[in-house]
Amino acid sequence: MSSSSLWARVFSGLGASVAAVLVLVYSFLLLVEGMPDEEVSAGSHALLVTKLVVAGLAGVALLVGAVSGWRWAVLGGCLLFAADFALWLVWYSGVFRLPSYEHPEPGPVAQPPVFWLVLVTVWGVFPGLLAALAWRGPHKKASPDLGLT
């Protein structure tokens, strides 16, 4: 397997930490949301569980990439972050929200610009740059030797 550069390994470890925080946030949201019933749709619950699993797998892949330097593990973790972003967009679209009989205010709900900046940075820019950094790294065989001897 191909090895990635030192910086790709460092940022991969940082990405694994971000994924661990996301797993904790998604777990907390599942705890607060509860089981599907009249107020929580089964689709929304399943989507949140899927996001939890995808974020956990991304964290594991990035951690493996950080420890071993395997380029494909880092790239797989970045791809899973992109999948988590796509799932977030599905969740945000409101497809799985239960119909409400109240009359909402017209127009979309405005989100602050900082929210979108953090969202695009965490799920878009960071994995993209990490994937590019891992891809352009040195092409050599990965070894578990970290040079500590």
pLDDT in tens, 46-58: 888 999 999 999 9
* pLDDT for position 37: 76
* pLDDT for position 1: 44
- Percent of the chain's residues with pLDDT above 90: 18
**Boundaries of every domain in the chain:** 6-98+111-135
- Percent of the chain's residues with pLDDT above 70: 78
Q: How far apart are CA 115 and CA 132, in angstroms?
A: 25
- Residue among 90, 88, 96 at smallest CA distance from 55: 88
- The first and second tokens of residue 114, run together, are 């900082």
CA angle (55, 23, 9) in 5-degree steps: 60
Mean pLDDT on 128-136? 83
Q: What pLDDT, in 10s, does the model give residues 86-123?
A: 888 888 777 777 666 666 666 666 666 777 777 777 77
Q: How far apart are CA 53 and CA 149, in angstroms?
A: 37
Which residues, 6 or more positions from 106, have their beta carbon under 8 angstroms from its beta carbon?
A: none
